[in-house]
Structure 1
């Protein structure tokens, strides 16, 4: 029964991954047809990210949980498919909500990485205050790394991710930290029970 459920979850995961990959690929082709090579290039990079995750998940002896992978596919689609290719970044506070969600996603991912690095048993024996601090630091570190990637994309590839001032960068990092804090709250409540 558990094996059937796991197989079913993996099937949902693959369907989600390939579905979003196809949509992004079509959007990428449309960007190039319309002469927007910058967004087209972002689409190509996104298809490569999807392909990498799909390959890792199918070949790894220790794949990420299907739920996390589906959340990852969905988050990437919202960020690139809706945000970049469809112009949703023009919607007021879309970017803020996205960075808040990224903090939640990264917070969840940090727990998975912790369990992969030290094992599930040892991760359960760590003091919950330590794990909570680790999750917050991981979320903030990931938010900072993302801002460095945005800066690099803006400078090298002429993207327009960071706007014209530092407020965007700082608010994005704050939103990521708040999202990480939300995940910490859920973690602490679950660990208490």
Structure 2
């Protein structure tokens, strides 16, 4: 049963990957027709990142859970295809939604990393308070790193990710923190129900 579910999850991941890649390429072409070289460059970098993720998954036997990888691909779709190419960032609170979304999947990533470091079984022995603090801190740190990358992109490649309002950076980090807290809450609920105890 578990093997069948895993194969289905991998099949879904592949469908999502190809769908997002197709939408990225279409978006890059549209930016080309608009003579928007900066967004074309952003799209090309994203395509390369997607290819890199797929190669890692295939080469190393899907080290990232297929569900997690699919969530990442969906985030790329919303942030780049809808946000950057489609003008989604002009919609009120669209950026806030994305940062909460990113906090959720980064929180999930922190749980995957913890389980791998402790060889899965040891994570179930950790107290809930430590797990929650770890996941929330990880999400906040990742949000800070993301803001540093946005700053670097704005300075080095003339992107406009951060704008000129310093409040935007702080709000983005707060949204990431909220997303991480949501994931921590869900994981703790699953732990208390006896899930995530056995090796996946």
Do the two structures share a fold, i.e. TM-score over 0.5? yes
Q: Which residue of 2 aligns with 1:136?
A: 136
User: How do 1:53-92 and structure 2 match up within 5 A?
Assistant: 53-61=53-61, 63-92=63-92
1:5-154 alignment runs, 5 A limit? 5-61=5-61, 63-154=63-154
> TM-score, structure 2 length as denominator?
0.92
Match of 1:162 in 2: 162
2-structure distance, mates of 1:100, 1:70: 17
Contact 2:103-2:176 at 8 Å conserved across structures: yes
Q: State the TM-score, normalizing by the size of structure 1.
A: 0.96
Q: Does 1:183 align with 2:183?
A: yes
Q: Higher mean Cα deviation, 125-134 or 76-85?
A: 125-134
Give the Cα separation in 2 of the matches to 1:117 and 1:41. 36
**For structure 2, which runs of at least 5 residues remain unmatched after alignment?**
194-200
Q: Find the residue that maps to 1:185 and give its secondary structure.
A: helix
Q: Aligned partners of 2:114 and 2:25: how far apart in 1?
A: 33
Per-residue displacement from partner, 1:12-59 (whole Å, max 9, x unpaired)? 111111111111012112212310000001100110111111111111
Residues 64-110 of structure 1, C-alpha deviations (whole Å, 9 max, x = no match): 11111111100111000100011100001100111011111111111
Stretches of 4+ aligned residues off by more than 6 angstroms: none
5+ residue gaps in structure 1? none
How many residues matched?
193
Query: 1 CA distance for matches of 2:46 and 2:178?
Result: 26
